[in-house]
Amino acid sequence: MPGSGALRGCGTKLVVLLVLGGLFFYLVLPPVLESLIASRLDTKLESATKPEVDVRSKFPPMMLLGRIDRILVTTDQNPRADLKGVRVSVPSLIAGNPSIEAESCSPPSIDQSDQLQCQ
């Protein structure tokens, strides 16, 4: 069939692009967001050590829209903060003034500010 080779080449390129996009969302995006959140928290908390941040999402592409299932933060001041059902304004996070809303926060004594709201 004439032209079928061209279609096969386009199909292969499409599959490669989809695989690379999937790898980006699952392997690259979570560490990038962890680093951004940790650096923003570090400047806000002014602690001696940089906080450890673990970002988890069942479907990582939703992170681009600011939907994160869980954020675990460990600092030298708070042993561990667990935020669930998190919504982050990604543009404000990049700009350095993060707005974070969480459905639940544990421990309940987490200091809430204009950047962090627990419902």
Looking at residue 93, its pLDDT comes to 86
Cα distances (angstroms) measured from residue 50 to each of 42, 83, 106, 115:
6, 18, 20, 18
For residue range 65-89, list pLDDT tens digits in order: 999 999 998 887 767 888 999 999 8
What confidence tier does 54 reach under pLDDT thresholds 50, 70, 90?
very high
Looking at residue 87, its pLDDT comes to 93
Residue 49 has pLDDT above 60, yes or no: yes
Looking at residue 105, its pLDDT comes to 87
